[in-house]
Amino acid sequence: MSTMKAVIKPRPNPGKEWKKGFDLIDRPVPEITNQTDVKFKVTAAAVCGTDVGIYNSKDSLRDSMQGIEYDKVTVGHEFCGKIVEAGKEACDLLAHKVVNTFKNGGEKYVPEVFRGKSVSELNSMTNFIDLINEHLNATAEMHVTCGTCVQCRQNDKHVCKNTIIKGIHEDGSFTSYLTVPAENVLLFGQHEIPPDIIAFMDAIGNATHTVEAADVKGKRVAVLGCGVQGLMAVAVAKYAGAEKIYATDVSHGMFTAEKLEQSRFKLARDFGADYTFNVAIDDEKERFYQTVLDESEGAGVDAVLEMSGNYKAYEDAFKVVRMGGMLALLGIPGGKMVVDFSKDIIFRGVTVHGVIGRRVFETWDMMRVILREGLAQKFIDSGFITHDIPLEEVDKGINALANGEALKVLLRP
């Protein structure tokens, strides 16, 4: 039996310590057992904040992973790869995706070997999967949904109540091979979007969904938090046509005001922020409030994108959002916060929108367009990918993210 290296986390057991860290072990290469699945060979995987949380045995993730049926799971849910095998029904789904993916402006990315072919013609090719492997890059939406619950039937799959997340509840991408339902696959032309960017489109999708929810075109937007998600939200909001972007973050401990300015704030401005404010400094916090009011006739911003997951940022959000504005919340805070709903939300007509995952596949479609139009190259040129390391050095990548040295970390199996 063929084996591969995999980064795994043991399932947490009630009443027992859930050891911090990951283990690197040999696991069998997965086989296709469901005819609607495809097998990927992973070319690059990316580390996100959720992976750091799993590594650190965070309580919320412990609760989520206690119910999995396996004693261990291969972690990771961001990746780019090549399709190397597909079940019979999966081949038909892939043929439909090849025909439909490159419509509406993407026709030039269709490989010549597939150009003008119908679904039946593609299905009749004996080497169809080999040609996909040769000519297309691919990734997958790693939230696997049921398709039958109320949310799924209303095209709200991102909030399916039966969601299984690959890399949390089932084996994910920190390895050489994985299987995914063909329905969840996304295909890309060789020269459409760089594979290193495809590897973390899952994460870009969270920021894009947040921007999408706030409908930022022509609006004044505050982005609270300039970590990975906040910086991507700034970039996406700029490409989506935001009129003015105000970005905030905080210096703390070894992450000094100077370091914040030279790293995250510099990137935020490169990505399109008009102003940056270190709200750990009282004068800067006041300057943030005053700048927003001065530039909006005293009204405030049209939308706040909360990306930090810090309740102090929620206080800032209520300070700067205008009457009738929106708070789009992606950051995940711990604990609880007292909210004056009458004063801060109801009487001011403020909309509060929680964001989870990506709308399937609307968010991916929006991402595809803006990444093609230059955002992908901007991420590459900016040095947003700070670490590109072998899979075996996953601990190094996790630690770099935890101490603020890294933004996007790629792992190579």
Q: Is the confidence at residue 179, as pLDDT, over 90?
A: yes
CATH class for the region spanning 3-199+383-412: alpha beta
Q: Is the confidence at residue 104, as pLDDT, over 80?
A: no
Residue 173: band (very low, low, confident or very high) from pLDDT cuts 50, 70, 90? very high
Peptide bond into 361 cis (omega under 30): yes
Distant-in-sequence, close-in-space partners of 409: CB < 8 Å, separation ≥ 6: 46, 47, 385, 386, 387, 388, 389, 397, 398, 400, 401
- Rounded mean pLDDT, 43-59: 94
Q: Which two tokens stand for residue 179?
A: 């299987």
Q: What pLDDT digit, counting tens, does each position of 252-291 carry?
A: 887 899 999 999 999 999 999 999 999 999 999 999 999 9
* Rg (alpha carbons) of the chain, rounded to whole number: 22
Query: Which pLDDT belongs to residue 404?
Result: 83
Q: Give the C-alpha separation, 51 to 68, whole Å.
A: 17
pTM of the model: 0.94
Q: Is the confidence at residue 112, as pLDDT, over 80?
A: yes
Query: Which pLDDT belongs to residue 156?
Result: 94
Query: Which pLDDT belongs to residue 326?
Result: 98
CA distances for 380 relative to 71, 187, 244, 384, angstroms: 38, 20, 24, 7
Q: Report the candidate in 217, 132, 170, 198 with the shortest Cα–Cα distance to residue 364.
A: 198
CA distances for 107 relative to 104, 114, 115, angstroms: 7, 11, 9
- Rounded mean pLDDT, 221-236: 97
Residue 402: band (very low, low, confident or very high) from pLDDT cuts 50, 70, 90? confident
Query: Which pLDDT belongs to residue 15?
Result: 83
Residue 142: band (very low, low, confident or very high) from pLDDT cuts 50, 70, 90? very high
CATH class for the region spanning 207-354: alpha beta
Q: What pLDDT digit, counting tens, does each position of 327-345 carry?
A: 999 998 888 899 999 999 9
- Rounded mean pLDDT, 305-310: 95
Q: What pLDDT digit, counting tens, does each position of 74-91 carry?
A: 999 999 999 999 999 999
- Rounded mean pLDDT, 379-383: 96
Query: Which pLDDT belongs to residue 333?
Result: 86
Query: Which pLDDT belongs to residue 219?
Result: 98
Q: Give the C-alpha separation, 371 to 198, whole Å.
A: 10
- Share the mean pLDDT of the chain: 95
- In the chain, domain spans: 3-199+383-412, 207-354
Query: Which pLDDT belongs to residue 157?
Result: 94
- Rounded mean pLDDT, 11-38: 94
* Backbone phi, psi, residue 410, to 5°: -100, 140
Q: Report the candidate in 179, 32, 178, 184 with the shortest Cα–Cα distance to residue 97.
A: 184
User: Is the sign of the CA dihedral 213, 208, 46, 308 positive or negative?
Assistant: negative
Q: What pLDDT digit, counting tens, does each position of 57-68 carry?
A: 988 888 889 888
